[in-house]
Structure 1
Protein backbone atom coordinates (compact mmCIF):
# COMPACT_ATOMS: atom_id res chain seq x y z
CA UNK A 1 0.00 0.00 0.00
CA UNK A 2 1.29 3.45 -0.88
CA UNK A 3 2.78 5.41 1.99
CA UNK A 4 0.70 8.52 1.25
CA UNK A 5 -2.50 6.58 2.03
CA UNK A 6 -1.56 6.13 5.67
CA UNK A 7 -3.23 8.19 8.35
CA UNK A 8 -1.34 9.39 11.37
CA UNK A 9 -4.06 8.21 13.80
CA UNK A 10 -5.79 4.86 14.20
CA UNK A 11 -9.17 4.34 15.92
CA UNK A 12 -10.49 1.35 17.87
CA UNK A 13 -14.26 1.43 18.63
CA UNK A 14 -15.21 0.49 22.17
CA UNK A 15 -16.99 -2.66 20.99
CA UNK A 16 -13.74 -3.93 19.46
CA UNK A 17 -11.58 -2.78 22.36
CA UNK A 18 -13.67 -4.54 25.03
CA UNK A 19 -14.25 -7.77 23.11
CA UNK A 20 -12.72 -10.28 25.52
CA UNK A 21 -12.83 -13.11 22.96
CA UNK A 22 -10.78 -11.13 20.45
CA UNK A 23 -6.99 -11.52 20.97
CA UNK A 24 -4.87 -8.43 21.53
CA UNK A 25 -3.20 -9.03 18.17
CA UNK A 26 -6.62 -8.78 16.52
CA UNK A 27 -7.28 -5.43 18.19
CA UNK A 28 -3.90 -4.16 17.09
CA UNK A 29 -4.62 -5.38 13.55
CA UNK A 30 -7.86 -3.40 13.58
CA UNK A 31 -5.91 -0.33 14.69
CA UNK A 32 -3.47 -0.75 11.80
CA UNK A 33 -6.34 -1.17 9.32
CA UNK A 34 -8.08 1.97 10.56
CA UNK A 35 -4.86 3.95 10.24
CA UNK A 36 -4.64 2.83 6.62
CA UNK A 37 -8.30 3.42 5.80
CA UNK A 38 -9.19 5.56 2.77
CA UNK A 39 -11.53 8.53 3.23
CA UNK A 40 -14.42 6.26 2.11
CA UNK A 41 -13.68 3.80 4.91
CA UNK A 42 -11.67 1.09 3.16
CA UNK A 43 -8.02 0.11 2.67
CA UNK A 44 -6.27 -2.44 0.46
CA UNK A 45 -3.09 -3.72 2.22
CA UNK A 46 -1.76 -7.16 1.40
CA UNK A 47 -1.35 -9.82 4.04
CA UNK A 48 2.39 -9.46 3.60
CA UNK A 49 2.20 -5.74 4.44
CA UNK A 50 0.05 -6.38 7.53
CA UNK A 51 2.36 -9.16 8.67
CA UNK A 52 5.35 -6.83 8.41
CA UNK A 53 3.54 -4.11 10.36
CA UNK A 54 2.69 -6.47 13.25
CA UNK A 55 5.72 -8.78 13.01
CA UNK A 56 3.40 -11.78 12.56
CA UNK A 57 3.18 -14.56 10.01
CA UNK A 58 0.83 -14.18 7.06
CA UNK A 59 -1.08 -17.23 8.27
CA UNK A 60 -1.75 -15.51 11.61
CA UNK A 61 -2.84 -12.36 9.82
CA UNK A 62 -5.39 -14.36 7.80
CA UNK A 63 -6.73 -15.91 11.01
CA UNK A 64 -7.13 -12.52 12.67
CA UNK A 65 -8.82 -11.02 9.62
CA UNK A 66 -11.30 -13.91 9.67
CA UNK A 67 -12.04 -13.23 13.38
CA UNK A 68 -12.67 -9.55 12.72
CA UNK A 69 -14.89 -10.37 9.77
CA UNK A 70 -16.92 -12.97 11.70
CA UNK A 71 -17.65 -10.42 14.43
CA UNK A 72 -18.75 -7.82 11.92
CA UNK A 73 -15.90 -5.41 12.70
CA UNK A 74 -14.63 -5.40 9.12
CA UNK A 75 -16.05 -6.28 5.71
CA UNK A 76 -13.93 -7.66 2.88
CA UNK A 77 -14.79 -6.87 -0.73
CA UNK A 78 -12.96 -8.79 -3.46
CA UNK A 79 -12.95 -7.49 -7.02
CA UNK A 80 -12.46 -10.12 -9.71
CA UNK A 81 -11.59 -9.94 -13.37
CA UNK A 82 -14.43 -10.30 -15.84
CA UNK A 83 -12.59 -12.74 -18.06
CA UNK A 84 -11.27 -15.33 -15.57
CA UNK A 85 -13.04 -14.34 -12.32
CA UNK A 86 -9.66 -14.31 -10.63
CA UNK A 87 -9.09 -12.02 -7.64
CA UNK A 88 -7.91 -8.64 -8.88
CA UNK A 89 -7.95 -6.58 -5.70
CA UNK A 90 -9.10 -6.92 -2.10
CA UNK A 91 -10.63 -4.05 -0.14
CA UNK A 92 -11.12 -4.09 3.65
CA UNK A 93 -13.80 -1.83 5.10
CA UNK A 94 -12.99 -0.84 8.68
CA UNK A 95 -12.87 2.30 10.78
CA UNK A 96 -16.27 3.38 12.10
CA UNK A 97 -18.08 2.22 8.94
CA UNK A 98 -17.63 -1.56 8.56
CA UNK A 99 -21.09 -1.98 7.01
CA UNK A 100 -20.73 0.67 4.27
CA UNK A 101 -22.00 -0.48 0.91
CA UNK A 102 -20.11 2.03 -1.25
CA UNK A 103 -17.80 0.15 -3.59
CA UNK A 104 -14.36 1.58 -4.32
CA UNK A 105 -14.11 3.59 -7.55
CA UNK A 106 -13.29 1.32 -10.48
CA UNK A 107 -10.90 3.80 -12.06
CA UNK A 108 -8.80 4.47 -8.95
CA UNK A 109 -5.11 3.72 -9.41
CA UNK A 110 -4.45 1.10 -6.76
CA UNK A 111 -1.54 -1.35 -6.53
CA UNK A 112 -2.19 -4.96 -7.43
CA UNK A 113 -2.31 -7.28 -4.39
CA UNK A 114 0.33 -10.03 -4.23
CA UNK A 115 -0.75 -13.47 -5.38
CA UNK A 116 -0.46 -14.79 -1.82
CA UNK A 117 -3.60 -12.85 -0.87
CA UNK A 118 -5.59 -15.27 -3.01
CA UNK A 119 -4.29 -18.42 -1.28
CA UNK A 120 -6.75 -20.54 0.72
CA UNK A 121 -6.69 -19.81 4.44
CA UNK A 122 -5.54 -23.34 5.28
CA UNK A 123 -2.44 -23.27 3.07
CA UNK A 124 0.88 -23.05 4.92
CA UNK A 125 2.64 -19.70 4.75
CA UNK A 126 6.35 -18.98 5.27
CA UNK A 127 7.95 -17.65 8.42
CA UNK A 128 7.15 -14.08 9.61
CA UNK A 129 8.80 -11.43 7.44
CA UNK A 130 11.40 -9.00 8.69
CA UNK A 131 10.17 -5.93 10.52
CA UNK A 132 8.77 -3.34 8.17
CA UNK A 133 10.75 -0.15 7.70
CA UNK A 134 7.47 1.73 7.36
CA UNK A 135 5.89 0.38 10.52
CA UNK A 136 3.44 2.91 11.93
CA UNK A 137 4.92 2.32 15.39
CA UNK A 138 8.08 4.38 15.83
CA UNK A 139 7.77 6.30 12.55
CA UNK A 140 10.16 9.20 12.10
CA UNK A 141 8.10 11.22 9.64
CA UNK A 142 6.00 12.89 12.34
CA UNK A 143 4.51 16.36 11.90
CA UNK A 144 6.73 19.11 13.22
CA UNK A 145 3.96 20.74 15.24
CA UNK A 146 3.58 17.75 17.62
CA UNK A 147 5.48 18.60 20.82
CA UNK A 148 7.93 16.04 22.23
CA UNK A 149 7.01 14.04 25.29
CA UNK A 150 8.30 15.44 28.60
CA UNK A 151 11.08 13.48 30.34
CA UNK A 152 9.89 10.89 32.81
CA UNK A 153 10.73 11.16 36.48
CA UNK A 154 11.83 14.21 38.45
CA UNK A 155 11.33 17.81 37.50
CA UNK A 156 11.43 18.63 33.83
CA UNK A 157 14.86 19.94 32.92
CA UNK A 158 16.00 19.85 36.54
CA UNK A 159 19.47 18.85 37.65
CA UNK A 160 20.18 15.60 39.40
CA UNK A 161 19.70 15.79 43.15
CA UNK A 162 22.98 15.86 45.09
CA UNK A 163 23.74 13.02 47.48
CA UNK A 164 24.30 13.62 51.16
CA UNK A 165 24.90 9.98 52.12
CA UNK A 166 27.64 7.95 50.39
CA UNK A 167 27.10 4.55 48.85
CA UNK A 168 30.52 3.29 50.03
CA UNK A 169 30.79 2.41 53.74
CA UNK A 170 28.37 5.13 54.90
CA UNK A 171 28.87 4.35 58.61
CA UNK A 172 32.63 4.91 58.39
CA UNK A 173 32.13 8.09 56.39
CA UNK A 174 29.85 9.43 59.14
CA UNK A 175 32.58 8.85 61.74
CA UNK A 176 35.14 10.56 59.49
CA UNK A 177 32.83 13.49 58.73
CA UNK A 178 31.86 14.04 62.36
CA UNK A 179 35.50 14.11 63.43
CA UNK A 180 36.53 16.38 60.56
CA UNK A 181 33.58 18.73 61.10
CA UNK A 182 34.28 19.00 64.82
CA UNK A 183 38.07 19.43 64.71
CA UNK A 184 38.63 21.02 61.29
CA UNK A 185 35.96 22.29 58.89
CA UNK A 186 32.33 21.37 58.25
CA UNK A 187 31.64 22.83 54.80
CA UNK A 188 30.61 21.02 51.58
CA UNK A 189 29.44 17.66 52.88
CA UNK A 190 28.08 16.69 49.45
CA UNK A 191 31.46 17.27 47.85
CA UNK A 192 33.09 15.11 50.52
CA UNK A 193 30.51 12.38 49.83
CA UNK A 194 31.34 12.44 46.12
CA UNK A 195 35.08 12.15 46.74
CA UNK A 196 34.54 9.38 49.31
CA UNK A 197 32.55 7.32 46.81
CA UNK A 198 35.21 7.90 44.14
CA UNK A 199 38.02 6.89 46.49
CA UNK A 200 36.24 3.88 48.06
CA UNK A 201 38.85 3.42 50.80
CA UNK A 202 39.14 0.03 52.45
CA UNK A 203 39.27 -0.40 56.22
CA UNK A 204 43.06 -0.32 56.33
CA UNK A 205 43.23 2.96 54.43
CA UNK A 206 40.49 4.45 56.58
CA UNK A 207 42.49 3.61 59.69
CA UNK A 208 45.57 5.24 58.14
CA UNK A 209 43.53 8.32 57.31
CA UNK A 210 42.20 8.48 60.87
CA UNK A 211 45.67 8.38 62.44
CA UNK A 212 46.97 11.01 60.03
CA UNK A 213 44.00 13.27 60.68
CA UNK A 214 44.45 13.01 64.44
CA UNK A 215 48.08 14.06 64.07
CA UNK A 216 47.21 16.93 61.71
CA UNK A 217 44.57 18.48 63.95
CA UNK A 218 47.21 18.63 66.74
CA UNK A 219 49.73 20.35 64.48
CA UNK A 220 50.66 23.97 65.11
CA UNK A 221 49.29 25.26 61.80
CA UNK A 222 45.91 23.55 62.15
CA UNK A 223 45.63 24.67 65.78
CA UNK A 224 46.20 28.21 64.51
CA UNK A 225 43.59 27.70 61.78
CA UNK A 226 46.10 27.89 58.92
CA UNK A 227 45.90 25.74 55.78
CA UNK A 228 42.94 23.60 56.83
CA UNK A 229 41.32 22.27 53.61
CA UNK A 230 37.70 21.26 53.07
CA UNK A 231 37.11 17.56 53.66
CA UNK A 232 36.42 17.23 49.92
CA UNK A 233 39.91 18.47 49.02
CA UNK A 234 41.50 16.56 51.87
CA UNK A 235 40.14 13.35 50.32
CA UNK A 236 40.70 14.35 46.70
CA UNK A 237 44.38 15.28 47.15
CA UNK A 238 45.21 12.47 49.61
CA UNK A 239 46.16 14.92 52.33
CA UNK A 240 46.52 12.13 54.85
CA UNK A 241 49.96 11.61 53.30
CA UNK A 242 51.08 15.07 54.45
CA UNK A 243 53.66 15.19 57.24
CA UNK A 244 52.29 17.54 59.88
CA UNK A 245 54.54 20.06 61.56
CA UNK A 246 55.10 19.02 65.15
CA UNK A 247 53.38 21.11 67.76
CA UNK A 248 55.70 23.38 69.79
CA UNK A 249 56.13 22.50 73.45
CA UNK A 250 55.77 25.76 75.39
CA UNK A 251 57.96 24.41 78.20
CA UNK A 252 60.94 23.92 75.86
CA UNK A 253 62.93 26.83 74.35
CA UNK A 254 63.13 27.17 70.58
CA UNK A 255 66.28 25.90 68.87
CA UNK A 256 68.85 23.35 69.99
CA UNK A 257 69.80 22.93 73.63
CA UNK A 258 72.53 25.30 74.86
CA UNK A 259 75.44 24.00 76.89
CA UNK A 260 76.37 26.02 79.98
CA UNK A 261 79.62 28.01 79.84
CA UNK A 262 79.59 28.14 75.98
CA UNK A 263 79.24 31.52 74.30
CA UNK A 264 76.92 31.48 71.28
CA UNK A 265 77.03 34.20 68.59
Structure 2
Protein backbone atom coordinates (compact mmCIF):
# COMPACT_ATOMS: atom_id res chain seq x y z
CA UNK A 1 0.00 0.00 0.00
CA UNK A 2 2.96 2.31 0.55
CA UNK A 3 3.56 2.40 -3.20
CA UNK A 4 0.04 3.74 -3.79
CA UNK A 5 0.15 6.82 -1.57
CA UNK A 6 2.59 8.91 -3.68
CA UNK A 7 0.57 8.42 -6.91
CA UNK A 8 -1.23 11.54 -8.12
CA UNK A 9 -4.85 11.16 -9.24
CA UNK A 10 -8.32 12.42 -8.42
CA UNK A 11 -9.86 11.60 -5.00
CA UNK A 12 -12.37 8.86 -6.02
CA UNK A 13 -9.83 6.63 -7.84
CA UNK A 14 -7.26 7.32 -5.15
CA UNK A 15 -9.66 6.29 -2.38
CA UNK A 16 -10.69 3.11 -4.21
CA UNK A 17 -7.03 2.27 -4.95
CA UNK A 18 -6.04 2.66 -1.29
CA UNK A 19 -9.02 0.55 -0.20
CA UNK A 20 -8.07 -2.24 -2.63
CA UNK A 21 -4.40 -2.12 -1.61
CA UNK A 22 -5.37 -2.25 2.06
CA UNK A 23 -7.47 -5.40 1.51
CA UNK A 24 -5.02 -7.12 -0.88
CA UNK A 25 -3.01 -10.14 0.24
CA UNK A 26 0.78 -10.52 -0.17
CA UNK A 27 0.37 -11.29 -3.88
CA UNK A 28 -1.74 -8.16 -4.46
CA UNK A 29 -5.09 -9.98 -4.84
CA UNK A 30 -8.43 -9.07 -3.24
CA UNK A 31 -12.11 -9.63 -4.08
CA UNK A 32 -14.29 -7.04 -2.32
CA UNK A 33 -17.83 -6.28 -3.45
CA UNK A 34 -18.82 -2.87 -4.77
CA UNK A 35 -20.83 -2.34 -1.57
CA UNK A 36 -17.74 -3.07 0.49
CA UNK A 37 -15.72 -0.53 -1.47
CA UNK A 38 -18.50 2.03 -0.99
CA UNK A 39 -18.29 1.49 2.76
CA UNK A 40 -14.50 1.77 2.79
CA UNK A 41 -14.35 4.92 0.63
CA UNK A 42 -17.63 6.71 1.56
CA UNK A 43 -18.34 7.18 -2.16
CA UNK A 44 -21.49 6.17 -3.99
CA UNK A 45 -21.78 3.07 -6.14
CA UNK A 46 -21.55 4.98 -9.42
CA UNK A 47 -18.42 6.84 -8.31
CA UNK A 48 -16.76 3.60 -7.18
CA UNK A 49 -17.56 1.78 -10.44
CA UNK A 50 -16.24 4.67 -12.53
CA UNK A 51 -13.12 4.84 -10.35
CA UNK A 52 -12.45 1.13 -10.89
CA UNK A 53 -12.89 1.56 -14.64
CA UNK A 54 -10.40 4.43 -14.66
CA UNK A 55 -7.87 2.47 -12.54
CA UNK A 56 -8.12 -0.40 -15.01
CA UNK A 57 -7.61 1.93 -17.96
CA UNK A 58 -4.31 3.23 -16.58
CA UNK A 59 -3.04 -0.25 -15.71
CA UNK A 60 -2.81 0.13 -11.95
CA UNK A 61 -5.63 -2.38 -11.32
CA UNK A 62 -6.56 -5.56 -13.19
CA UNK A 63 -9.96 -7.21 -12.72
CA UNK A 64 -11.00 -10.80 -13.40
CA UNK A 65 -14.79 -11.12 -13.71
CA UNK A 66 -14.94 -14.65 -15.13
CA UNK A 67 -16.14 -16.11 -11.83
CA UNK A 68 -19.63 -14.70 -12.26
CA UNK A 69 -20.20 -14.22 -8.54
CA UNK A 70 -17.25 -12.13 -7.47
CA UNK A 71 -14.56 -10.04 -9.11
CA UNK A 72 -10.88 -10.56 -8.26
CA UNK A 73 -8.71 -7.43 -8.37
CA UNK A 74 -4.92 -7.28 -8.79
CA UNK A 75 -3.29 -4.10 -7.48
CA UNK A 76 -0.12 -3.23 -9.41
CA UNK A 77 0.96 0.30 -8.46
CA UNK A 78 4.27 -0.05 -10.31
CA UNK A 79 2.34 -0.20 -13.63
CA UNK A 80 0.62 3.15 -13.13
CA UNK A 81 0.42 4.93 -16.49
CA UNK A 82 -1.81 7.95 -15.88
CA UNK A 83 -0.07 10.12 -18.52
CA UNK A 84 -0.33 7.45 -21.22
CA UNK A 85 -4.00 6.73 -20.61
CA UNK A 86 -4.95 10.34 -20.09
CA UNK A 87 -6.16 11.31 -16.65
CA UNK A 88 -9.57 13.01 -16.55
CA UNK A 89 -9.50 16.74 -16.55
CA UNK A 90 -9.47 18.46 -13.19
CA UNK A 91 -12.54 20.38 -14.40
CA UNK A 92 -14.56 17.18 -14.82
CA UNK A 93 -17.52 16.71 -12.46
CA UNK A 94 -16.49 15.53 -9.03
CA UNK A 95 -17.99 12.06 -8.68
CA UNK A 96 -17.46 12.16 -4.95
CA UNK A 97 -20.74 14.12 -4.66
CA UNK A 98 -22.70 12.14 -7.28
CA UNK A 99 -26.02 10.76 -6.10
CA UNK A 100 -26.94 7.15 -6.69
CA UNK A 101 -30.66 7.74 -5.97
CA UNK A 102 -33.35 10.12 -7.28
CA UNK A 103 -33.34 13.78 -6.20
CA UNK A 104 -35.23 14.58 -3.04
CA UNK A 105 -34.42 11.26 -1.40
CA UNK A 106 -32.01 11.47 1.56
CA UNK A 107 -28.52 10.24 0.84
CA UNK A 108 -28.13 6.63 1.95
CA UNK A 109 -25.70 6.05 4.82
CA UNK A 110 -23.57 2.94 4.94
CA UNK A 111 -24.15 2.56 8.67
CA UNK A 112 -27.73 1.32 9.00
CA UNK A 113 -27.81 1.97 12.73
CA UNK A 114 -27.55 5.76 12.31
CA UNK A 115 -30.48 7.87 11.10
CA UNK A 116 -29.86 10.08 8.04
CA UNK A 117 -28.40 13.47 8.90
CA UNK A 118 -28.84 15.18 5.59
CA UNK A 119 -26.45 15.22 2.66
CA UNK A 120 -23.11 13.59 3.26
CA UNK A 121 -20.34 16.20 2.99
CA UNK A 122 -17.77 15.68 0.29
CA UNK A 123 -14.60 14.25 1.74
CA UNK A 124 -11.52 16.35 1.05
CA UNK A 125 -8.04 14.98 0.89
CA UNK A 126 -5.62 15.97 3.62
CA UNK A 127 -3.25 18.11 1.59
CA UNK A 128 -0.67 18.30 4.34
CA UNK A 129 -0.53 14.54 4.61
CA UNK A 130 -0.34 14.13 0.84
CA UNK A 131 2.53 16.61 0.62
CA UNK A 132 4.41 14.91 3.42
CA UNK A 133 4.15 11.54 1.74
CA UNK A 134 5.25 12.91 -1.63
CA UNK A 135 8.28 14.55 -0.09
CA UNK A 136 9.30 11.42 1.79
CA UNK A 137 11.53 8.87 0.12
CA UNK A 138 9.35 6.27 -1.69
CA UNK A 139 9.72 2.70 -0.40
CA UNK A 140 11.96 0.37 -2.32
CA UNK A 141 10.37 -2.28 -4.55
CA UNK A 142 10.38 -5.75 -2.96
CA UNK A 143 13.24 -7.09 -5.08
CA UNK A 144 15.46 -4.05 -4.42
CA UNK A 145 14.60 -4.06 -0.72
CA UNK A 146 15.45 -7.76 -0.47
CA UNK A 147 18.75 -7.14 -2.23
CA UNK A 148 19.58 -4.33 0.19
CA UNK A 149 18.79 -6.50 3.21
CA UNK A 150 20.79 -9.38 1.77
CA UNK A 151 23.76 -7.13 1.11
CA UNK A 152 23.65 -5.80 4.66
CA UNK A 153 23.29 -9.30 6.07
CA UNK A 154 26.19 -10.62 4.00
CA UNK A 155 28.39 -7.78 5.18
CA UNK A 156 27.69 -8.52 8.83
CA UNK A 157 27.73 -12.32 8.75
CA UNK A 158 30.87 -13.96 10.04
CA UNK A 159 32.99 -16.37 8.08
CA UNK A 160 32.97 -19.18 10.69
CA UNK A 161 29.15 -19.32 10.65
CA UNK A 162 29.15 -19.74 6.88
CA UNK A 163 31.82 -22.42 7.10
CA UNK A 164 29.86 -24.32 9.77
CA UNK A 165 26.67 -24.20 7.68
CA UNK A 166 28.55 -25.48 4.62
CA UNK A 167 30.16 -28.27 6.64
CA UNK A 168 26.77 -29.31 8.05
CA UNK A 169 25.23 -29.40 4.55
CA UNK A 170 28.16 -31.48 3.27
CA UNK A 171 27.84 -33.95 6.16
CA UNK A 172 24.13 -34.32 5.44
CA UNK A 173 24.92 -35.28 1.84
CA UNK A 174 27.41 -37.88 3.14
CA UNK A 175 24.69 -39.23 5.44
CA UNK A 176 22.22 -39.49 2.55
CA UNK A 177 24.80 -41.28 0.40
CA UNK A 178 25.49 -43.98 3.02
CA UNK A 179 21.91 -44.44 4.23
CA UNK A 180 20.23 -47.46 2.57
CA UNK A 181 16.72 -45.98 2.21
CA UNK A 182 16.57 -42.77 0.21
CA UNK A 183 12.97 -41.58 0.47
CA UNK A 184 11.43 -38.34 1.78
CA UNK A 185 14.83 -36.67 1.64
CA UNK A 186 13.38 -33.15 1.92
CA UNK A 187 11.69 -34.15 5.16
CA UNK A 188 15.01 -35.58 6.33
CA UNK A 189 16.77 -32.34 5.40
CA UNK A 190 14.30 -30.36 7.51
CA UNK A 191 14.87 -32.73 10.43
CA UNK A 192 18.63 -32.25 10.04
CA UNK A 193 18.33 -28.46 10.00
CA UNK A 194 16.05 -28.53 13.06
CA UNK A 195 18.55 -30.78 14.87
CA UNK A 196 21.40 -28.34 14.05
CA UNK A 197 24.15 -30.82 15.04
CA UNK A 198 27.60 -29.48 15.83
CA UNK A 199 30.72 -31.07 14.35
CA UNK A 200 31.08 -33.68 17.11
CA UNK A 201 27.46 -34.79 16.92
CA UNK A 202 27.62 -34.94 13.12
CA UNK A 203 30.55 -37.35 13.32
CA UNK A 204 28.66 -39.46 15.86
CA UNK A 205 25.60 -39.58 13.60
CA UNK A 206 27.64 -40.49 10.53
CA UNK A 207 29.48 -43.28 12.37
CA UNK A 208 26.23 -44.68 13.76
CA UNK A 209 24.51 -44.57 10.36
CA UNK A 210 27.47 -46.32 8.74
CA UNK A 211 27.49 -49.00 11.44
CA UNK A 212 23.77 -49.66 11.21
CA UNK A 213 23.76 -49.62 7.40
CA UNK A 214 26.44 -52.34 7.30
CA UNK A 215 25.04 -54.25 10.28
CA UNK A 216 23.65 -57.73 9.93
CA UNK A 217 19.99 -56.75 10.48
CA UNK A 218 19.75 -54.10 7.75
CA UNK A 219 21.92 -56.17 5.41
CA UNK A 220 19.52 -59.09 5.85
CA UNK A 221 16.48 -56.88 5.17
CA UNK A 222 18.08 -55.55 2.01
CA UNK A 223 19.06 -59.02 0.77
CA UNK A 224 15.48 -60.18 1.32
CA UNK A 225 14.06 -57.19 -0.56
CA UNK A 226 12.39 -55.78 2.56
CA UNK A 227 14.03 -52.36 2.54
CA UNK A 228 10.70 -50.82 3.54
CA UNK A 229 11.28 -52.15 7.06
CA UNK A 230 14.33 -49.92 7.40
CA UNK A 231 13.21 -46.59 8.89
CA UNK A 232 13.24 -43.56 6.62
CA UNK A 233 16.09 -41.16 7.30
CA UNK A 234 13.74 -38.47 8.62
CA UNK A 235 12.29 -40.91 11.16
CA UNK A 236 15.77 -42.14 12.04
CA UNK A 237 16.90 -38.59 12.82
CA UNK A 238 13.70 -37.62 14.62
CA UNK A 239 13.92 -40.73 16.83
CA UNK A 240 17.63 -40.11 17.60
CA UNK A 241 18.37 -43.62 16.42
CA UNK A 242 22.09 -42.92 16.31
CA UNK A 243 22.00 -43.54 20.08
CA UNK A 244 20.96 -47.17 19.52
CA UNK A 245 23.55 -49.83 20.21
CA UNK A 246 25.50 -50.18 17.01
CA UNK A 247 25.19 -53.50 15.18
CA UNK A 248 28.46 -55.22 14.41
CA UNK A 249 29.58 -57.75 11.50
CA UNK A 250 29.10 -61.61 12.32
CA UNK A 251 32.06 -63.59 13.77
CA UNK A 252 32.50 -62.78 17.43
CA UNK A 253 29.32 -64.49 18.66
CA UNK A 254 31.31 -67.26 20.33
CA UNK A 255 33.76 -64.87 22.00
CA UNK A 256 30.84 -62.73 23.16
CA UNK A 257 28.81 -65.66 24.46
CA UNK A 258 26.04 -64.99 21.96
CA UNK A 259 23.71 -67.54 20.42
CA UNK A 260 25.49 -69.63 17.78
CA UNK A 261 24.92 -68.18 14.35
CA UNK A 262 24.14 -64.68 15.66
CA UNK A 263 26.30 -61.81 14.31
CA UNK A 264 29.20 -60.77 16.54
CA UNK A 265 27.91 -57.20 16.48
CA UNK A 266 24.47 -58.12 17.79
CA UNK A 267 25.35 -57.00 21.34
CA UNK A 268 27.53 -54.48 23.05
CA UNK A 269 29.49 -57.27 24.70
CA UNK A 270 30.23 -58.77 21.30
CA UNK A 271 31.55 -55.46 20.02
CA UNK A 272 33.75 -54.94 23.05
CA UNK A 273 35.03 -58.53 22.83
CA UNK A 274 36.07 -57.93 19.23
CA UNK A 275 37.63 -54.62 20.25
CA UNK A 276 39.72 -56.34 22.88
CA UNK A 277 40.71 -59.06 20.43
CA UNK A 278 41.90 -56.39 17.98
CA UNK A 279 43.81 -54.48 20.64
CA UNK A 280 41.38 -51.53 20.83
CA UNK A 281 40.22 -52.30 24.35
CA UNK A 282 36.67 -51.97 25.65
CA UNK A 283 34.46 -48.89 25.25
CA UNK A 284 35.18 -46.32 27.96
CA UNK A 285 31.65 -45.38 29.00
CA UNK A 286 32.87 -43.31 31.95
CA UNK A 287 34.95 -41.06 29.72
CA UNK A 288 31.99 -40.62 27.38
CA UNK A 289 29.68 -39.65 30.26
CA UNK A 290 32.31 -37.12 31.41
CA UNK A 291 32.28 -35.55 27.98
CA UNK A 292 35.84 -36.48 27.02
CA UNK A 293 35.30 -39.85 25.33
CA UNK A 294 33.79 -41.04 22.08
CA UNK A 295 30.24 -42.31 21.72
CA UNK A 296 29.59 -46.03 21.48
CA UNK A 297 28.59 -45.94 17.76
CA UNK A 298 31.94 -44.26 16.98
CA UNK A 299 33.80 -46.93 18.98
CA UNK A 300 31.84 -49.70 17.26
CA UNK A 301 32.60 -48.25 13.83
CA UNK A 302 36.32 -48.15 14.70
CA UNK A 303 36.21 -51.80 15.78
CA UNK A 304 34.50 -52.79 12.56
CA UNK A 305 37.02 -50.91 10.40
CA UNK A 306 39.92 -52.46 12.31
CA UNK A 307 38.46 -55.93 11.83
CA UNK A 308 37.92 -55.37 8.12
CA UNK A 309 41.50 -54.11 7.80
CA UNK A 310 42.79 -57.38 9.27
CA UNK A 311 40.61 -59.49 7.02
CA UNK A 312 36.92 -60.34 6.89
CA UNK A 313 37.50 -63.88 8.16
CA UNK A 314 39.47 -62.92 11.24
CA UNK A 315 37.55 -64.10 14.28
CA UNK A 316 39.84 -63.38 17.20
Q: Same fold (TM over 0.5)?
A: no
TM-score normalized by structure 1? 0.38
Larger-Rg structure: 1
The structure showing larger relative contact order (alpha-carbon pairs under 8 Å, at least 6 residues apart) is 1
Structure holding more helix per residue? 2
